[in-house]
Amino acid sequence: MPVITNIDDLKRIYERRVPRMFYDYAESGSWTEQTFRDNSSDFHDIRLRQKVAVDMSGRSTASKMIGQEVAMPVALAPVGLTGMQHADGEMKAAKAALDFGVPFTLSTMSINSIEDVAEHTGAPFWFQLYTMKDEDYVRRLIQRAKDANCSALVITLDLQILGQRHKDLKNGLSAPPKLTAKTIANLMTKWAWGIEMLGAKRREFGNIVGHVEGISDASSLGAWTAEQFDPSLDWTKIEKLMEQWGGKVILKGILDPEDAKMAAKLGADAIVVSNHGGRQLDGALSSIRMLPQIMDAVGGDIEVHLDSGIRSGQDVLKALAMGAKGTYIGRAFVYGLGAMGQKGVTTALEVIQKELDTTMALCGERNLADLGPHNLLVPQDFCGRWQE
């Protein structure tokens, strides 16, 4: 059994275990991948202030996200095709999150369906919505999330059109993988993945196949989703979706202070400062760099969460000290899932919690609520000096 001490350890095992097509799908950003790289490297530019001779006993990472108690403010982000990273991936990740005490967000583009996850965990989870042109399908999807007792709707706003990731096109990404000479050659080296996948509950998009007329196989599905994302989504439509849902709403993909103000005006429960992990607008600034401006604009009006680039508990602490009330991990939990299934997701969460707790102690803090700018050393021009 390998000794796992950090998220990179999980990533190395993940890379060995999972077919190249799905590894590449997770491990890429759009176009030049500048934003993808910046998301993590900008966290490294922020340093921490060490404090000594402070009583560090009785520390806690417990907190709340949108009023929900969490063991630490780190939710699992919605990740499409999670069930291709490991058999029954969404069910396993959701169970790991539930047992750990953090929220799990199920993607619209998941392999396991809303109903699979609800049945497997028997507990509320969050559902992420992509809006499609087919309004009737969206209405039914929202109703299915309500029926499954989902406790928040996460509406993603930054993917009305797909950012191009070169590797996905070159690999011919599909779920399940199409059997070409290249994929067969690769799959033969990933036999453990393949054997588990043979026993998986599903290998196609569970929220879509069987719920939309005319979809019989996954190959037509790729084209269908590309056509179906609604390019006309605007604030009026978002407001309607919020009304349809009628429960807690998180608006995901906000990177601009004016957009953050609109989200607050609409009465969302939280926003996620996010650039989709660098997978959409390449050249956009990292989430952590945009956070201060967004906190200035809406920090007092709405709960602000952040994702993109988090690979450690130290990154989580930096985001919290800059004002975020919650964070999400995407790839960090996918590495764990691909490496070791449910246990790997638990390990990823344990690693992050331990790093968060130790860093908090060495910064002289016992509670997350006490974190603030006084814990950080932020480069003077961190937010950038850009022309107006």
Catalytic residues: 276
**DSSP-assigned letter for residue 207:** T
Helices (H), the chain: 7-17, 20-26, 34-45, 82-85, 89-100, 114-121, 135-147, 166-171, 181-187, 191-198, 218-228, 235-245, 257-265, 287-298, 313-321, 331-362
Among 4, 10, 20, 25, binds ligand FMN (CB under 6 A): 25
- Binding status of residue 336 toward ligand FMN by CB under 6 A: no
Q: How far is 56 from 60, CA to CA, in rounded Å?
A: 10
Instruction: Round to the nearest angstrom and report the end-to-end CA distance of the chain.
Output: 54
Among 20, 23, 35, 39, binds ligand FMN (CB under 6 A): 39
- Binding status of residue 331 toward ligand FMN by CB under 6 A: yes
- Binding status of residue 79 toward ligand FMN by CB under 6 A: yes
Q: What x-and-dash track marks residues 280-319 binding ligand FMN by CB under 6 A?
A: ---------------------------xxxx---------
With H, G, I as helix, E, B as strand and everything else as coil, classify residue 132. strand
To 10 degrees, the CA torsion angle through 330, 333, 334, 337? Answer: -160
State the nearest-atom distance from the C-beta of 80 to ligand FMN, in Å: 3
State the nearest-atom distance from the C-beta of 332 to ligand FMN, in Å: 6
State the nearest-atom distance from the C-beta of 289 to ligand FMN, in Å: 14
Q: Would you say 80 or 299 has its CB closer to ligand FMN?
A: 80
Question: 250 has which bridge partners?
Answer: 154, 270
Q: How far is 215 from 211, CA to CA, in rounded Å?
A: 8
- Binding status of residue 171 toward ligand FMN by CB under 6 A: no
Q: Would you say 128 or 359 has its CB closer to ligand FMN?
A: 128
Among 7, 10, 18, 26, binds ligand FMN (CB under 6 A): 26
- 234 phi and psi angles, rounded to 5 deg: -140, 180
Among 61, 113, 121, 128, binds ligand FMN (CB under 6 A): 128
- Binding status of residue 80 toward ligand FMN by CB under 6 A: yes
- Binding status of residue 109 toward ligand FMN by CB under 6 A: yes
Q: Would you say 26 or 153 has its CB closer to ligand FMN?
A: 26
What residue ranges bind ligand FMN (CB under 6 A)? 25-26, 39, 77-80, 107, 109, 128, 156, 252, 274, 276-277, 279, 307-310, 329-332
